[in-house]
Amino acid sequence: MQRRTFEVPRGGGFGIGSGAPVPRDLVAILAVLFVTYVMHFFRTTAALPELLQLTAAVYGGYLWQLVTYPFVGFPSGGIWFLLELLVLFWFGRDVFWRLGRRRFWTRILVGAAVAAAVAIGVQLLVAVLGGVGLTSVPVFALMQGQRMLMAILIAAFATLWGDATVMLFFVIPLKARWFLWLEILFAFMAFLTVKDLAGLLGITAAVALTWAFLSPGGPRQAWRSARLKVEGWLIQARLKRLRRGRRFDVVDGAEGRDRWVH
């Protein structure tokens, strides 16, 4: 079966004006987020989202939380939660058709897992250095549920369509590429209130990783450039050692050509 593709026009086409069809995968994600969000508010069902979202229980072996937490709706207030789902829908729709199903899910799962690994590592380090318990304060609030999905998909959109114009707050026109920095700025402003350092660095890691894998050249090009630099440095170092080990003098050749003698 031929994979359907969609390309956002360079001048915009984002959001309501986008002509992209709605992918079923994205509908399923939004539905799961909404259902798990509602489950938080009922005593008989609250245990399930708590089991799936990222918590300190991951240190005790609940490793599935590393990939399940982005799909658990995080309580952020009724109207704000719906707005977050709307933004997630706008960005996710175009990114899905640009990347295709396999790459779309790969970027989400890998980005979320790496971000979670960074966050739990930071929280563990903070706990050790500060002498506090891992469960003494709520953690990972900045990167739970739809917030992590928004970070990854907005970063993907900003990388793939850097020249597209997006209306920030529906009134301020900005090039999409600036949303990479705005995501980190907004996360930092939220950090000032909740003091969730692990969540802040997790969001930053997810944005950086998404940009690295989707930017022109990607990590392969960056790795190749770094490898070539290291190889060049090793060659230069070896030549210097050879020059120090064997001294050569230059004398005029009998036939007007230079020749080397030891």
Q: pLDDT tens digits, the chain, 262 residues: what are they?
A: 334 444 444 434 455 445 667 889 999 999 999 999 999 888 888 889 888 888 888 888 888 988 899 999 888 777 888 888 988 998 899 889 888 889 999 999 999 999 999 998 888 887 777 655 555 445 788 888 899 999 999 999 988 877 676 666 666 766 777 788 888 898 898 888 888 888 899 999 999 999 888 887 666 565 666 667 777 787 887 787 777 766 555 455 555 444 444 4
Closest CA to 152 of 48, 224, 222, 69: 69
Largest CA distance in the chain: 99
Give Cα 191 to chain centroid, integer Å.
Answer: 18
Q: What is the pLDDT of residue 165?
A: 67
Q: What is the pLDDT of residue 241?
A: 75
The CA distance from 68 to 189, in Å, is 26
Closest CA to 52 of 34, 66, 32: 66
Is 158:146 a contact under the CB 8 Å cutoff?
Answer: no
Q: What is the pLDDT of residue 4?
A: 46
Closest CA to 166 of 26, 6, 8: 8
Q: What is the pLDDT of residue 9?
A: 42
**Which residues, other chains included, contact 62 with Cβ-Cβ below 8 Å and sequence gap of 6+?**
51, 55
Is 214:127 a contact under the CB 8 Å cutoff?
Answer: no
Q: What is the pLDDT of residue 114?
A: 93
Tokens of 155: 């970063």
Radius of gyration of the chain (CA): 25
Q: What are the two backbone dihedrals, phi and then psi, of residue 9, each rounded to the nearest 5 degrees?
A: -60, 150
The CA distance from 56 to 258, in Å, is 73
Q: What is the pLDDT of residue 134?
A: 55
